Structure 1
Amino acid sequence: MSLQRSSVMITSKSTTNRLMMAAPNTHDGMAATDEEELVASAVVYPGSTEEVQKIVHWANKHVIPLHPISMGRNFGYGGAAPWVRGAVVVDLGKRMNRILDINPEDCTCLVEPGVSYYALYEEIQRRGYKHLWIDVPDLGGGSVLGNALDHGVGYTPYGDHWAMHSGLEVVTPTGEVVRTGMGALPGNNTWQVFPYGFGPVIEHVWPRDSDILLNMGCSDVSSSGKKRIWSSWWRSIVRPLRIAIILDNAANIRHALQVLALSGAPRTAFYQGEGPFPPEKMSEYLRDHPYGDCTWLYFGTCYGPSEVRKWKLEPIHREFMKVPVARRIDPATLPPSDYFWSRDRTSSGEPDLEELAWVNWWPNGGHIAFSPVAPTRGADALRLWQLAKKHWAASGLDFFPSTLWLGFANCI
C-alpha cells in the first residue's frame, strides 16, 4: 500500500500569519523569531491507521524525522512547527477527522485527531443529546485529542482533559499498533468507560512523546442543565474551596487590563503614550465599566440543581467578602458583548473564539504562552506575579498576565 500523491505536499509557499480556523500546518503561525527557523519540508496526510504505519516505516528506512500534529492550532506553544527544521509533518487532522462514536448513556465519545471541539459540539447538538456537554478550552477551534495531549484545560468540572480520556490507539516509532486499556481486548465494550486494563498503566508515556496517537476516547459532561457563573475579586481563599469541591470548575483569574484588551479594540484606543500601560489609566477606563475599578477578576461556576447551587454559593460569597475591597458582580449588569458571556459559554461546554480578541491589542498581534505551575497558595501566586511584573517592566511591555487556571491544588 502507498499514499496517493494528493496526500503529500512539499513545502514551497511563503509562511503567513493566519487565523485560528485556518492555521498553517508547516510552521508556527505566531512565530516570535524567524518563521522559517522551524519549518517542515513536507506534509503528509494519512487517512487510516495503516497509512500512518506505512509513513513510519518509510521514515525509519530513510532516517527522516516525523512531526505528527492533530490540527496544528496550539497557538502560543509553537502551533504546527516541527521540533526539527525540515522534518515531515504528519497532518492527522485533514483526513482522519471522524467522530467514531458518541454514547449518550455512558456520556463518552471516541474521536480521531481531526475532530475539533466545534465539530464534536455540533454533532452532539445535531443528534439532539441535550443532556450532553463537552469540556472546551478557551479556543474551540482546535483538536479534542491534540488538546488533551498538550495537557490542555477547560472550565467545567471535567477541566483536566488528559485525566478525562479513556483509551488510546497508538502507532509506535517502530510501526506497531497499540490499543491501551480495555481496547486491547477485541470486541470489548468498556474501552471508553474504564481507562485501565489488566496490566500496567502506560498511557502517560505518550503525551509529547514520539508515538503517533490516532484515536482517543473521552468522557463528556452529563449536564444537569443548571449552572451559575459569577465573577469576583480574588485573594488566597480559593484553595480550600476548590479542594472541598465547593468551587466546582477549573476557574480562572484575569488581570483587569485584559478587560480592555478583550474588547477587541487596539491599545491606541485607550492610550497613545510611550512605555507600559499606566495603571492609573486602566483604573480611569474601568471606573466606567460594570466591573468598576479593580486589578484582578475571578470567574467561577457552580453546577447542579438550584438548591445545590444555592448551598454552594453561600459559603463562596461569605469567604470572598472577607476581603475588604472585594465585590461580587451581578451578570445582569453586563452587556451581551462583555467577555463574561464568553466565560459563560465555555463553562457550559460551548466552543468559543472570543479569547483571541486581545491579540488585536498590538498591530499584527500574536502571543507566546509561558505556563509556570505553582500550588494554589496566596504566597506562591504572589511570587509568580512579582516575577512576571519584574520581567515585564524590564522589557518595557504592558503588564499583561493572561490566565491563572486553578486546579484542586495547583495553578498555571
Structure 2
Amino acid sequence: MNDDANDYGKHLITITQRPELVFAQGQGAWLVDEGGKRYLDLIQGWAVNSLGHSPALLAQALTQQAQQLLNPSPAFYNRPMLELAQRLVELTCMDRVFLASSGAEANEAAIKLARRWGQKMRQGAFEIIGFEGGFHGRTLAMMSASGKPGWERIYPPMPTGFPKARLNDIESVARAIQPSSVAVMIEFVQGEAGVNLADPGFVRELRALSTERQLLLIADEVQTGVGRCGHAFAYEMYGIEPDLLTLAKGIGGGAPLSALLCKERYNCFEPGDQGGTFCGNPLMAALGLAVLNEVCRDEFLARVRQRGHYLAAGLQKLAREHGLVGERGAGLLRALVLPGNHAEQIVSSARNLAPTGLLLNAPRPNLLRLMPALNITEEEIDQGLELLGRALTETLADALSA
C-alpha cells in the first residue's frame, strides 16, 4: 500500500468512509491495489461494470471513437447517438430515447416527462407515487422520490409531490392515488433496500391499475437493466410493458451513460424542455452500443441466468453452513441475509483477507449485496464463495465470543 494513501483523502470533500487503500489496476473480475494485492470484486462499481474491469471490447470502442469525435454538442446529431437510440428501441418495447450521464439524471428526466404529460393530458396532474425503500438517485428531487428512511431530514425543505406506497401491496398504491397523481415509479428489484423483489402478481396488478387510472408506469431499471437480472431488462421477467423506462449503470460498462426511454404517445417534450451538455455525446454512446451488442445476445443472457443460479446455490450452501437467514435475488444481483447486524464487519474482514481480498457491499446492517461482472466464470464464483466463507467464519466467531 502506498504510504501516502491518506494524503489523497485530505483534498476530497467527505462523502463516504473509504478504506485506506488505492486501486491501481483492474481486469475482468479482479482489482489490484498500489501494493500489488489482488481483490476479487463482487461489487463492480455498484453493478456498473457489465463486462468487468477494463474489457478489451470497450477499450477498443473508446479508442476508436476518441480518435474520431468526442462531443459536437447536443444541438447536433452524431452517428453513435443515433445508432444507440435505434438499438435501444429494437431491444425494448419503447419508441423514443433521451441519452444522459447518470441514473439520477435519467430519473429526473422521467419525472419531468411525466409531469409535462400531466400538464398536457391530465389537467396538470404532477404527483409521482413511489415506494418505501425505493432508491432513484441523489439529486434533491430524486431523494424525495426515493423511500430511503431519514433522507427527508438531510436537506430540508425537500421537493414535494412524491407520496409513497408499499412494495407488493396494491391496496397501498390505490390509496395513494389522487386526482393530482400522474405516474407510479417502481424498481422491480429494490437494490439499495436489500435486493427486495416485486411479486409478479403485484406487478401485473400495478400495470392494470395504472392503465385503469391513466397513470404512467415508470420502470427504474438503473440497476436491473442491461442483463443484470438475466434478461435484457427486468420488466421482461414480469410479462408487462412500462410506459417509461430508465437505464444507467450497466449500459455504460463502467462509463457515465444513462437513458430515458418512452413510448411514442408520451413523447411530449418541446424543444428546450430538457437537455444537457453531455447528453448523447458520441464517446459514451459508442461504449453503450458496444455493451448492448455484447450483453443483450441470447447466449450471453442465458449464461448470466446460469451463473446466477450457480451463485445462488453457493450462497444457499453458505447460509446452511453458517446458520444464516438465507439468500435472494435475480440473475447476478443477489443478497445474503445475516442473522445479525454483522454486514460491515464481514465486508471489512473479506477485504482484509490474505493473500487475496474480496470486495462486497453492505446496503443494510444485516445484509450483503453481490453484483459481480456479468461474464464472471464459475471458477471465480467458487473463489468468491470460498473467500466469503472464510470471512463469515472469522466474523461470526468473533461475534459469538464477544
Q: TM-score, normalised by structure 2?
A: 0.25
Q: Which has the higher contact order (CA 8 A, sep 6+)?
A: 2
Structure having the higher helix fraction is: 2
Q: TM-score, normalised by structure 1?
A: 0.25
The structure number with the bigger radius of gyration is 1
